[in-house]
Amino acid sequence: MSARRTVHYATLSEVVQDAEHLIGNHHTVGNWSFGQICQHLAKAMTASIDGFGFQAPWFVRWLIAPMMKNSILIKPMKPGFKLPKNATSLLPDDSVTAEEGLRQLKAGIERLSHESPTAPHPVFGRMAGEEVMQIHLRHCEMHMSFIVPGENGQPPA
């Protein structure tokens, strides 16, 4: 298995540029396809506007979240977090194509760029607009790192 790549985004438009660059020439090194990664990111972005429909347990929100919020906003996210059962709305469809996932990612970024992300985060609660952007950029970096350039979907030789 190939290693993940290192990714850093300063803006949401950089996420789109990266995804557009990779769509026809990539392989993934994780459990999700290109389309699933893009769709998951889009669902998280639109949930910041429309609402997540779930929240973390009270002890996470009140005891753990305040200690880790600043770190989450500025440092790379670590992979391996399994979404709780009540967060299935954020899981991608098994059969989403790369093209459809990218379309949804672009639509999610468009909405997030033009609408106020006022829905409380399920862990951190109400966040300032810039904090919401930073958490989405870190989230995109982590997931997009699993999409690696490679000829015709194969790792480079």
pLDDT digits (tens, 9 = 90+) for 115-148: 999 999 999 999 999 999 999 999 999 999 999 9
Q: Which residues contact 36 (CB under 8 A, 6 or more apart)?
A: 92, 93, 94, 96, 101
Cα angle 69, 44, 154; round to 5 = 105
pLDDT number for residue 81: 86
Reported as type and span, the H/E element at residue 27 is: strand 26-28
For residue 9, the model assigns a pLDDT of 98
Q: Please give the average per-residue pLDDT across 92-106, as a whole number.
A: 97
| Confidence (pLDDT) at 65 | 94
Question: Higher model confidence: residue 70 or residue 152?
Answer: 70
CA separation (Å) from 143 to 14, 40, 80, 115? 14, 9, 10, 23
pLDDT digits (tens, 9 = 90+) for 30-65: 999 999 999 999 999 999 999 999 999 999 999 999
Backbone angles phi, psi at 37, to 5 degrees: -60, -50
Q: How far apart are CA 22 and CA 29, in angstroms?
A: 14
Q: What's the whole-number average pLDDT of the chain?
A: 93
The pTM of this model reads 0.93
The pLDDT assigned to 154 comes to 54
Q: What is the CA radius of gyration of the chain?
A: 15
Per DSSP, the three-state class of 125 is strand
For the chain, the residue count is 157
